[in-house]
Copies of this chain bind each other. A is one copy, B any other.
């Protein structure tokens, strides 16, 4: 198992958390996604996956969820 942590900014509420979380869970090998929401600030995202995740895949998944910014 691999644990990946990064920051997403631009989320303001639980709906945003759900949107981002849903997209990340669709990535291949992802077992768990945890997001600590800081509304309007930098929220911590922790992903547990079966294998290391491609940074480009993470960025693309978050972009799919909406207008959020990823800092790896």
* Residues of A participating in the B interface, judged by any CB pair closer than 8 Å: 12-13, 15-16, 19, 39-40
Contact = CB atoms under 8 A, between A and B. Distances in A.
Contact of A19 (B12, B15, B19, B40): B15
6 contacts: A12-B13, A12-B39, A12-B40, A13-B13, A13-B15, A15-B19
Listed residue (A13, A16, A19, A40) with the most chain B CB atoms within 10 angstroms of its CB: A13
Question: Which 6 residue pairs are nearest across A and B when measured between Cβ atoms?
Answer: A15-B15, A12-B12, A12-B13, A13-B13, A13-B16, A15-B16
A15 B13 CA distance: 9
A24 B15 CA distance: 18
A15 B20 CA distance: 12
